[in-house]
């Protein structure tokens, strides 16, 4: 019997193989300019980059969805519904997805929590922004935090655990964002000069091809055209945008993740029009 966390591993292995098919089927998406002069993309380049955007977003969602499905399955088990860590500990530890570094945890209604890595934590989660939502019976997907137990930049997925209609706790995951960024880059084997990232509704970078830029608001990086581009990306569900950063023009295509609501972007660093 497979461990819960391995449900979608085979599906994720197929993403790079889909890129060629996507090139032939993608439709043009609206474009915008942040006042940067660059050569226009050919129709072939545009279709290929949109296919790579679909690959990046699809693979990221697949990894995250694997964790969400694992949590939902755990929340339905009698061991987790008992709200007793001693009963559920072995199951929770065995269910940590092997494809993406993360910690699973179980939280009691007072914020006390236990992790798959260390057991009882010495802090509580009651001061987290997602806490009230979770104890009220609502699932959490895509909150960004610095993990209390590991100190790592993490994206939170969590589902309430109920005994009948009563919420007895929550089971969640702290997924390490820097590892997600690195894994996407390694698995997709993107062309030189590629870039990808995802933005939350607040404009903070959820993941980036350069992990040093995870959890950074790009509008604070002293690039007026990048700041303008971010505002445009957040105001639309999909499109194309050009801007300049670190002295080089970039063209990116973006769309919206159905799982997290993040804007996911893929693009390239380009030569200037007169070069």
Kindly give, in sequence order, each residue whose CB lies less than 8 Å from that of residue 29, ignoring residues fewer than 6 positions away.
Answer: 50, 238, 239, 240, 253, 255
Is residue 271 scored above 90 in pLDDT? no
pLDDT, tens digit (0-9, with 9 covering 90-100), for 54-67 = 999 999 999 999 99
Compute the distance between CA of residue 189 and CA of residue 192 in angstroms, rounded to an integer: 9
Please check whether residue 65 is in contact with residue 259, taking contact to mean a CB–CB distance below 8 angstroms.
Answer: yes
Mean pLDDT, rounded, of the chain = 88
Split at pLDDT 50, 70, 90, the class of 84 is very high
Please check whether residue 208 is in contact with residue 180, taking contact to mean a CB–CB distance below 8 angstroms.
Answer: no
* Stretch 197-215: mean pLDDT: 95
The structure tokens 């032939």 sit at 24
pTM (two decimals): 0.84
What element of type H or E holds 82?
none
pLDDT number for residue 267: 96
pLDDT, tens digit (0-9, with 9 covering 90-100), for 1-39 = 444 544 444 545 544 444 444 443 444 555 555 555 677
Supply φ then ψ for residue 127, to 5 degrees.
-95, 0
Compute the distance between CA of residue 47 and CA of residue 19 in angstroms, rounded to an integer: 10
Split at pLDDT 50, 70, 90, the class of 254 is very high
Compute the distance between CA of residue 68 and CA of residue 16 in angstroms, rounded to an integer: 22
Kindly give, in sequence order, each residue whose CB lies less than 8 Å from that of residue 68, ignoring residues fewer than 6 positions away.
Answer: 141, 157, 159, 259
């Amino acid at each position: 019997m497979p461990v819960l966390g391995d449900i979608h591993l085979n599906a994720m292995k197929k993403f790079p193989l889909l890129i060629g098919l996507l090139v032939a089927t993608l439709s043009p998406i609206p474009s915008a300019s942040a006042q940067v002069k660059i050569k226009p993309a050919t129709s072939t380049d545009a279709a290929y980059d949109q296919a790579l955007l679909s690959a990046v977003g699809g693979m990221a969602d697949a990894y995250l969805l694997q964790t969400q499905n694992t949590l939902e399955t755990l929340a339905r088990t009698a061991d987790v519904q008992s709200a007793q860590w001693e009963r559920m500990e072995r199951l929770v530890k065995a269910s940590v997805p092997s494809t993406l570094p993360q910690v699973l945890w179980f939280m009691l209604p007072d914020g006390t929590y236990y992790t798959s890595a260390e057991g009882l934590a010495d802090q509580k989660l009651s001061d987290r922004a997602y806490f009230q939502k979770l104890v009220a019976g609502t699932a959490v997907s895509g909150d960004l935090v610095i993990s209390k137990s590991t100190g790592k930049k993490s994206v939170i997925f969590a589902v309430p655990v109920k005994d009948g209609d009563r919420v007895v706790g929550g089971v969640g995951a702290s997924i390490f964002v820097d590892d997600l960024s690195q894994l996407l880059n390694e698995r997709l084997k993107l062309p030189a000069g590629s870039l990808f990232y995802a933005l939350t509704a607040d404009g903070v970078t959820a993941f980036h091809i350069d992990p040093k830029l995870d959890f950074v608001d790009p509008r604070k990086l002293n690039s007026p055209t990048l700041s303008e581009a971010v505002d445009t990306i957040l105001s639309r569900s999909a499109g194309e945008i050009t801007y300049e950063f670190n002295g080089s023009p970039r063209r990116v295509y973006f769309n919206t993740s159905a799982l997290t609501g993040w804007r996911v972007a893929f693009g390239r660093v380009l030569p200037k029009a007169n070069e």
